[in-house]
Amino acid sequence: MNKKLLISVFLCFFVFFMGLLARETGTEQKQTDVDKTKIVEEWQTDPEAFAKLFFENDLSLRSKRKESTILRKTKASIIEKVDGYHLKWPVKFGINPGWLGMAPEGREELSKVGDNMALYVLIGPDVTGWIWITPDLGPQEVEKWSWGIPPESSVQVKLKITRVIPMIMKNGMLVIYLDGGELGIETSSPRCDWPEYSSQFSPVFFGSSNQIRIMSSHGFPIKVGLRSGDKGRDSIVPSNGEASFFVPDGKYDIYFQYATDPGSLYQGDSFDVSSSRVEIQLKSIGAGDYKIRKIK
């Protein structure tokens, strides 16, 4: 009888202890989750320190290769380590560095399905790579975070890491594609009253559409917004360069934000397109036939 009693008491203590251990483990897990929201590591505030987690201290240009190399498998433990953590980084809002490095044909192909804008950080000696931040937003929301922010602005970005893809490109450059949720953006740059839209023009995966080509002779980048009804799309024309939109038939309003006058909104003459190609040349004030006026 005493033996049975001792066994019963032991079992009771065992069950109690296991329950206590489970609660402590659960508490530790919750604590770990809470810690991910805190800024406690250098790489959470320093993008270059983040890059060194994947490429080590050597951020120099690598040798050229036949194909780009994805480091997901070799860096799986580091990817798992940073997953779910929050970042607070100084970044740039401007033209995607990858887009700038493409041939004109490649730029046009990408312009058929999206814009050339990005939140990015240049890394390494003499810019040997970059980190491209792609917010986890729906396809209709992807541009809205940038409304009113002038091109090439310094931005403070907060986000929760949801996916990391470190790569070495064919040309040897180091690139990290970083997806993030819970996006927060702050900038000290003046913002203009940028025109809103409800949804983007549909991407052009197959077939053809109207090309609107915008060429600039200005020595600074210009953000351009096309609007037709409740639809729109934005892009950035580089300094002394060009960019294209591919859109369906319709009547279009066009807006501009200059990097040299970030708090102002400019509008050009509206135009119709129908199975055609439109070219707009942005020249110095008073030059050319295409008129642009400041409206806000």
Domain-ending residue, one of 158, 186, 214: 186
Q: Return the CATH number at 271.
A: 2.60.40.10
Q: What is the pLDDT of residue 107?
A: 92
The pLDDT, as a whole number, for residue 97 is 92
Q: How many other C-beta atoms are found inside a 10 Å radius of the C-beta of residue 75?
A: 19
Residue at which a domain ends, from 152, 186, 220 = 186
State the residue range of the domain holding 278. 199-294
172 and 287 part of one domain: no
For 15, phi then psi, to 5°, come to: -65, -40
Q: Are residues 76 and 180 in the same domain?
A: yes
Residue 7 within any structural domain of the chain: no
Burial class (CB in 10 A: 0-12, 13-18, 19+), 4: exposed
Handedness of CA 148, 290, 201, 205 (dihedral sign): negative
Residues 288, 217 share a domain: yes
Q: Which one-letter amino acid corresponds to residue 136?
A: D
In a domain, 167, yes or no: yes
Encoded amino acid at 51, one letter: A
Q: Based on the domain organization, do 204 and 176 belong to the same domain?
A: no
Query: Tokens 């197959």 belong to which residue?
Result: 206
Classify residue 193: in a domain, yes or no: no
Residues 79, 119, single domain; the answer is: yes
**Shared domain check, 174 and 50:** yes
Of 33-42, 71-80, 222-231, the poorest mean pLDDT is in 33-42
Domain final position from 164, 186, 208: 186
Residue 263 domain-assigned? Answer: yes
- Comparing 72-76, 98-102, 233-237, the range with the smallest average pLDDT is 98-102
Task: Average the pLDDT over each of 1-5, 89-93, 222-226, 230-234 and give the range with the smallest value.
Answer: 1-5
Q: Name residue, tokens 């000290």.
A: 188
Check if the beta carbon of residue 150 is closer than 8 Å to that of residue 223: yes
pLDDT surpassing 80 at residue 28: no
Report the mean per-residue pLDDT for the chain. Answer: 85
Structure confidence by residue, pLDDT tens digits, 99-151: 998 999 999 988 888 889 999 999 999 889 999 999 887 655 767 888 999 99
Same domain, 159 and 290: no
Q: Report the predicted TM-score, pTM, of the whole model to 2 decimal places.
A: 0.82
Same domain for 172 and 46, yes or no, is yes
Residue 287 pLDDT level (bands cut at 50, 70, 90): very low
- pLDDT of 197 reads 92
Gap between the Cα atoms of 113 and 47, Å rounded: 29
Q: Which residue has the higher pLDDT, 9 or 127?
A: 127
Please say if the pLDDT value at position 39 is more than 90: no
Query: Do 141 and 77 sit in the same domain of this protein?
Result: yes
| 75 and 210 share one domain | no
135 assigned to some structural domain: yes
> Is the same domain home to 165 and 246?
no
Which of the pair, 192 or 291, is modelled with greater confidence? 192
Predicted confidence at residue 289, as pLDDT, reads 58
Is 261 domain-assigned? yes
Mean pLDDT of 236-259: 94
Q: Are 119 and 231 within one domain?
A: no
Query: Does a structural domain hold residue 164?
Result: yes
Residue 215 located in a structural domain? yes
The number of distinct structural domains making up the chain is 2
**What local confidence, expressed as pLDDT, does residue 31 receive?**
45
Percentage of residues in the chain having pLDDT higher than 70: 83
